[in-house]
Amino acid sequence: MREIKGSEAIREAIRNEMLKDERVFLMGEDIGRLGNTFKVLAGLWEEFGPERVIDSPLSEEAIAGAAVGAALAGMRPVFEIMYIDFSTLAMDHIFNRAAKIRYISGGECSVPLVIRMQEGGRVSVACQHSQSLEALYCHIPGLKVVMPSTPYDAKGLLISAIRDDDPVIFIEHKLLYNRKGLVPEKEYTIPIGMADVKREGKDITIVSWSDMVHFSLDAAEKLEGEGIHAEVIDVRTLVPLDEDTIITSVRKTGRILIAHEAVRRGGYGAEVSSIISEKAFDYLRSPIKIVAAKNTPIPFSLSRTGEGGGYGAIPLLSEELKKCKDPLEEVVLPQTHNIVEAARAVVEYNNKS
Amino acid sequence: MITDDEKRALYKSMFRIRRFEERCIQLYAEGFIPGHIHLYIGEEPIASGVCMHMRKSDFVFSSHRAHGHLLAKGARMDKVLAEVFGKEWGYNHGKGGHMHVIAPDVHVFADGIVGGGFGPSVGTALTQKLQKKGDVTAYFFGDGAANQGCLYEVMNMAALWKLPLLLVLEDNLYAISTPTEISTSKPGLAARADAFGIVGEVIDGYDPIRVYEAGERAVHRARGGEGATLLEVKTYRLRGHREGDPQTYRSKEEIAQWRKRDPVKMFAKELEEQGLLTPEMQSALKKEIDEEIEKAVQFSLESPYPEAEMALKDVIS
């Protein structure tokens, strides 16, 4: 198996489906000639032409509506929103049509649509280009929400998403594009709704998704040095949620920590937490903890954690930036040490009692 | 008619924005500025030509490419640069950043979402109409934003309510990589404005005097209660969408052609030919502006980064 970047894995999945199924086409801003602003779709416009890789005007609302219409008429549109922050402009069609039509038509109609969005912080692009808004989409019945953390998962899940008969919100973290991982060349699918245990352990379960999985794995490594064996579950799809894998792990470890990059309040971590307390309360040996972003907008100043991931050649680090003691974006977003400290507290709570 | 003094002032405003951003290019390459940076180089006549007719109490909404509007409207250069650096002494304590500088003292609001200013500009213009102080609002947006549906809702309201509003389209031919010919069905937003009953004008944005005069007419109409104007200004950004943009979507020859018409340089030449700008005046002006810029750089370097607590402040009152 070769090692490729997340952006390449996503492109392979899309190319695979475009070759197989003529109904699949792409729409979005700067996706054709430019191949998307992160070059995720590079070469597809040249290969498939402007009728299947459509550079759209900056009209998110109309494109979202058009994608719904095309799906109703029998196509399988894959529609891209450059930053999830811009998806607010398209929400009416996503919330009120894409998510509702199967239900209100009594299953007669379906909207086989994929909306790829890119989210997340850590590259100093401030409040309108760094948010993690998955909880909004999880809140709307009728949508599936997929958030891969690795190139391997991204390829397998995206192929499944395109073949799925429901609208799928496919959220890519901006740091995924440059992350490398082993990915088979041939096609494969990962079922939507299946979590993945990324690391096994017996003392505490860390439930996470998207980019925070990598922070959770780093934390687990550090905890190992302290004699704490953490299990890391990557839920991979938030809706539907693989509750069984989580509950099975809770039964084993009795301790739960949930880690996500989105803000704490109203975050999907609270939903996972409530499911665990309802369904596995008797197995819990300590209160559930959530590590998440603070309840603030993302400040511009400053993040060094991403070091320009996916953002090209401009050096982000200078002596001047190194002088910054408490970069605000790093203060707001959860870091590995936050997970380590929280995990330790969860384990120690239990040791005390 | 534009006076000689006004011509010189117009040039100074444009040249000041240009020098400021040329310094930004350097500072960005050296790693002093985090994140992205979108430059206004080539488009200076628009901010300068329109904002010269505006006063402090007027409102300006701008985009991710806001340096020109901020400086032309009278925002403090040092506080703009410190914000772009992500520093405490910046306009927004480093929390807004390059794309989101808000300068409350001169009522300028930058916004990182394309078309984000359409709605708010109707709101401030409506307020100004009700307050009857003769204040006006200008929203500077790009050809990309011109295809956002909200513009059409806003033109309807602006016409319906006769609002003191300037909708200033800076048509630089590309929305990131997407050329207007594949994004815009029929060229000419001024004609679309006409369909709503709004006065629309098409102006060559590389001709500073034409922009200045159009800005004057539009502001005059707005202040006089005659309603909104849409200025469709034809321009070109001489740098990429943002620094680091490889610009694969346009040819080097095309950029070179436009560079030949560089409006700051051409206007200097024009003023020289008219005897309004001597080499001595030009070098004195450059010295004055560069000193201001270096003071702003010094201010930004000396400013501390915000303390950690700042991250949690001002979320709600």
- Name residue A53's beta-bridge partners: A26
User: In chain B, positions 208-227, which contact chain A (CB-CB < 8 Å)?
Assistant: none
> What's residue B31's pLDDT?
84
> What's residue A6's pLDDT?
96
How far from chain centre, in Å, is Cα B57? 17
Predicted ipTM of the assembly = 0.90
> What's residue A262's pLDDT?
98
Q: What average pLDDT is seen over chain A?
A: 94
A222-232 average pLDDT score: 98
> What's residue A308's pLDDT?
47
B186 pLDDT higher than 90: no
A334 pLDDT higher than 50: yes
> What's residue B187's pLDDT?
82
A308-335 average pLDDT score: 73
User: In chain B, positions 75-134, which contact chain A (CB-CB < 8 Å)?
Assistant: 83, 85-87, 92-100, 111-116
A195-216 average pLDDT score: 98
3-state secondary structure labels for all residues of chain A? CEEEEHHHHHHHHHHHHHHHCCCEEEEECCCCCCCCCCCCCCCHHHHHCCCCEEECCCCHHHHHHHHHHHHHCCCEEEEEECCHHHHHHHHHHHHHHHCCHHHHCCCCCCCCCEEEEEECCCCCCCCCCCCCCHHHHHCCCCCEEECCCCHHHHHHHHHHHHHCCCCEEEEEECCCCCCEEEECCCCCCCCCCCCEEEECCCCEEEEECCCHHHHHHHHHHHHHHCCCCEEEEECCEEECCCHHHHHHHHHHHCCEEEEEEEECCCCHHHHHHHHHHHHHHHHCCCCCEEEEECCCCCCCCCCCCCCCCCCCCCCCCCHHHHCCCCCHHHHHCCCHHHHHHHHHHHHHHHHHC
> What's residue B29's pLDDT?
87
Nearest chain A alpha carbon to B144: A58
Query: Measuring CA to CA, which residue among B226, B220, B64, B77 is closest to residue B141?
Result: B64
Taking CA atoms, A158 is separated from A71, A187, A215, in Å, by 17, 11, 23
A313 pLDDT higher than 60: no
What's the CA gap between B235 and A272, in Å, rounded?
Answer: 52
Nearest chain B alpha carbon to A328: B311
> What's residue B135's pLDDT?
98
| pLDDT > 90 fraction of chain B, expressed in percent and rounded | 93
State the pLDDT confidence band at B244, using cuts at 50, 70 and 90: confident
A312 pLDDT higher than 60: no
A84-104 average pLDDT score: 97
Nearest residue, CB atoms, B178 vs list A30, A316, A331: A30
Nearest residue, CB atoms, A126 vs list B31, B97, B177: B97
The 10s digit of each residue's pLDDT in B32-66 is: 898 889 999 999 999 999 999 999 999 999 999 99
Q: For residues A305 and A93, is the Cβ–Cβ distance under 8 A?
A: no
Cis link prior to A297 (omega < 30° from 0)?
Answer: no
User: In chain B, positions 126-185, which contact chain A (CB-CB < 8 Å)?
Assistant: 144-145, 147-149, 175-178, 182-184
> What's residue B153's pLDDT?
96
CA torsion sign for B261, B263, B264, B266 is positive
A351 pLDDT higher than 90: no
Q: Could you give all domains of chain A from N- to C-terminal order, each with its CATH number?
A: 2-183 (3.40.50.970), 196-297+333-352 (3.40.50.920)
Judge: A317–B148 Cβ closer than 8 Å, yes or no: no
Q: What average pLDDT is seen over chain B?
A: 96
Nearest residue, CB atoms, B308 vs list A313, A323, A331: A331
Q: Could you give all domains of chain B from N- to C-terminal order, each with its CATH number?
A: 4-302 (3.40.50.970)
> What's residue B188's pLDDT?
87
What's the CA gap between A283 and A242, in Å, rounded?
Answer: 18
Nearest chain A alpha carbon to B178: A30
Judge: B306–A30 Cβ closer than 8 Å, yes or no: no
A280 pLDDT higher than 80: yes
Out of A129, A173, A214, A260, the active site residue is A129
Say which residues have a Cβ less than 8 Å from residue A182's Cβ, sequence separation at least 6.
Answer: A1, A2, A3, A151, A152
Judge: A57–B99 Cβ closer than 8 Å, yes or no: no
Tell me if residue A260 is catalytic. Answer: no
Judge: A127–B111 Cβ closer than 8 Å, yes or no: no
Q: For residues B191 and B199, is the Cβ–Cβ distance under 8 A?
A: no
A162-171 average pLDDT score: 98
B35 min Cα distance to partner chain A (Å): 5
State the pLDDT confidence band at A353, using cuts at 50, 70 and 90: low
The 10s digit of each residue's pLDDT in A188-203 is: 999 999 999 999 999 9
A306 min Cα distance to partner chain B (Å): 11
A198 min Cα distance to partner chain B (Å): 31
- In the three-class reduction of DSSP (H, G, I as helix; E, B as strand; rest coil), residue B171 is classed as strand
B168-192 average pLDDT score: 92
B176 min Cα distance to partner chain A (Å): 7
A71 min Cα distance to partner chain B (Å): 22
> What's residue A310's pLDDT?
41
A214-221 average pLDDT score: 98
A311 pLDDT higher than 50: no
Interface test with A, best of B24, B141, B182, B302 (most A CBs within 10 A): B182
- In the three-class reduction of DSSP (H, G, I as helix; E, B as strand; rest coil), residue B167 is classed as strand
Q: What are phi and psi of B130, to 5 degrees?
A: -70, -35
Give the pair of three-digit tokens for residue B102: 């808000």
State the pLDDT confidence band at A307, using cuts at 50, 70 and 90: low
- In the three-class reduction of DSSP (H, G, I as helix; E, B as strand; rest coil), residue B109 is classed as strand
> What's residue B61's pLDDT?
97
Judge: B86–A127 Cβ closer than 8 Å, yes or no: no
The 10s digit of each residue's pLDDT in B95-145 is: 999 999 999 999 999 999 999 999 999 999 999 999 999 999 999 999 999
- In the three-class reduction of DSSP (H, G, I as helix; E, B as strand; rest coil), residue B170 is classed as strand
> What's residue B1's pLDDT?
85
> What's residue A304's pLDDT?
76
A288 pLDDT higher than 60: yes
